[in-house]
Chains A and B, each alone.
Chain A
């Protein structure tokens, strides 16, 4: 293509000239544009252009990171990603990146069959119950596609979560110190009454969904449910959650996060980081707004509530579904220790010995319980 007859040659291969020019410009932009370090929308660090190194070439890690780098630092990536989402819509696809768009702007994940971890995790819970002589409360929360069946597109195969949760609960019914908490009916009724119990663009339940479940926890524990109707409710608007992060619809309807003014004495994360409130208001400014609850997910954290009238304590072993529910429990307990096994490096056995007799609430959502590979840590 180069040489004296360049212009004549280009006329004979216009597509080639345009596209070759395009690839050259893209390469220059890769090199010239500053690299993005952290993607808010995807809530993860992006691969940087790797440094040339022989060891990395030998074991292939250099090539692998380079490949990832070209994907994650693609110039105009946002534009291309949106273009794909629009193209999928034109093709009348109801899903993108495995997230399904249902009725009324609700997005759902796809879950067809029990995961490899489900049985193992169930065994862990059984063993934990046998090992620990104390009251244990177990809440496996159904996911939105189970509760909002009517909003799921017709014909989409999905796992019967209720069947699995019920089956697991009845397996455990012989354990005297274990109390299973079934929130299915509560959430269904709430939803049928027109309340929003799950977010449209996120995999979590809403604060209201969590509140309904809190009611069932109180029932099971035999404690008095605090009415939060007298608390002031605050709103965080324009929340796009994890489903939208994958689906990337240009037309997604944003959610609104509700949170109550609940005062506490102290909140300590990982034994060092101290806060005077339950919510991290800075998170309301970023993409992952749900992370405002309890300041995010941490291995171990501890709340001292303002409820000086009681000495009751509680240990919560949980995933992120619990983050918007735990604030309600501060009305019933003076001290709450929160463990997220995914991030906890310490020994739970030791902790349990130290906290003799303190009741435990285990709270997971089904989809995560089905797959999580950290639950075994509750036995370590």
Chain B
């Protein structure tokens, strides 16, 4: 099930929240667990087993590590086996066919592809559960004695399929006990609506342009349309991804959980370094906390720092999908971040306008690499952007998308938020919420285009 569906809004929400709010505290986790199973099972019933398996293995690994705290070698063995299992699952279900394809291409072998589809959300929940065992191993958290609580943490529907990546230690207390305050519910609903509107009204609406260029053919579009198209995907991915995160954070609040912020106006950044501090924050912190710093971070000399950066960005790219374009996308950022570290940041500091322009172009180009899976097509598209191609197609598309993209730009650059924060009248805020919700329902009622972009993550 996805949040941006009538099924979720008008069936899941009323039934689930009625039950959840009515049952006493001690039943809240079981209720959340059961409804999360239904939520996930609605789309991918067969892969429920995989989550259950992941919960069971990591739970017992935790218990074992707790019991073997005296015996370091045994404890480490359990830990390593558990991590091998977690990463192994992810590797197998997400990357096996990618590896097979490339081995075939490289060696001329004819290994046949494995018939599996990517289990929804596996990249997110694997990273979440790994945060538990790693923190446990490092003594930063204590073992969860209740399999139900650990299970609830992992399968909890708000952030299950598209993040944010909530590390275990952040919510471990709330799993034991959480107070649900009406003010928090109100805040949660507001955040949810903003997320829903981001996804349904902006992402879907703007993304149609990018989608359409695929059928028009990249070879047929003018330079201006190529830029407009790339900008449309830039806005789409932000509103889509941030929309999901906001919906998750909002629902979390309604449930009594405090999830971390995932996007902090990334398009206002004045460098790529800053962009990555503001974009998909929970993923970059995960890599920093569990890969970059354990590798030594920047404390082992210049060369090691860049090697570590390379590893992290290779992995970041690869995490986004089993395709070369995602690896290229990650390494593209490795190069830019390294350049900024080396000398570029000193130049960027001098002119904010230049810095914003450079960052904007760098990010827009990165999304082209991200969005197009075929290498030849990426080159074709970027070629279209950086050469002169005339044509009047821009007239139609600008006419069609100017207003909605202008709104998108204003929102993504933070102007709308500033305006919203200035409003003190709660009735106006309430009316805004209700109106946005109703219009979102209208777009879902007549949806032409409502994709789920993270099926590759």
Q: A-side interface residues toward B, CB under 8 Å?
A: 1-2, 9-10, 12-16, 18-20, 22-24, 26-27, 30, 57-58, 60, 63, 66-67, 70-71, 74, 77, 80-81, 83-85, 87, 91-98, 110, 112-113, 153-157, 248
Contact = CB atoms under 8 A, between A and B. Distances in A.
B5 A15 contact: no
B430 interface: yes
17 contacts: A12-B182, A15-B189, A16-B188, A22-B437, A30-B11, A63-B43, A70-B6, A70-B11, A74-B10, A85-B446, A87-B439, A92-B403, A112-B217, A113-B217, A154-B396, A155-B399, A157-B216
B189 A13 contact: yes
B429 A155 contact: no
Interface of B: 5-7, 9-11, 13-15, 17-18, 21-22, 41-43, 45, 181-183, 185-186, 188-190, 193, 205, 212, 215-217, 220-221, 254, 391-397, 399-404, 426, 429-430, 433-434, 437-439, 441-448
Contacts of B396: 94, 153-157
Contacts of A97: 446, 448
A306 to B, nearest CB: 47
A15 B182 CA distance: 11
Contacts of A27: 10-11, 14-15
Contacts of A63: 41-43, 45
A74 B441 CA distance: 10
B7 A70 contact: yes
Given A14-B426, A70-B11, A74-B6, A84 B433 contact: no
Contacts, number: 153
Contacts of B9: 23, 26
Contact of B446 (A26, A84, A95): A84
Q: For chain B, what secondary structure do more than half of its interface residues adopt (helix, strand, loop), or is it mixed?
A: helix
Contact of A80 (B11, B217, B221, B442): B442
Contacts of B391: 155
Contacts of A14: 186, 426, 430
B397 A155 contact: yes
A10 B185 CA distance: 10
Given A27-B11, A67-B5, A80 B220 contact: no
Given A13-B183, A63-B41, A87-B443, 14 more contacts: A15-B429, A16-B188, A20-B189, A23-B14, A27-B14, A63-B43, A74-B6, A74-B445, A80-B446, A81-B445, A84-B446, A87-B439, A91-B403, A155-B396
Contacts of B13: 20, 23
Contact of B7 (A9, A67, A91): A67
Contacts of B254: 16
Contact of B442 (A16, A22, A83): A83
Given A14-B426, A92-B402, A20 B17 contact: yes
Given A13-B186, A15-B186, A74-B6, A93 B404 contact: yes
A213 B22 CA distance: 70
Nearest to B395: A155
Identify the 3 closest CB pairs spanning chains A and B, nearest first.
Answer: A155-B396, A155-B395, A13-B186
A12 B220 CA distance: 55
B399 A92 contact: yes
Contacts of A110: 212
A91 B404 contact: yes
A250 to B, nearest CB: 13
A71 B21 CA distance: 27
A93 B401 CA distance: 7
Nearest to B391: A155
Nearest to A73: B6
A19 B7 CA distance: 15
B14 A81 contact: no
Contacts of A154: 392, 395-396
Contacts of B182: 1, 9-10, 12-13, 16
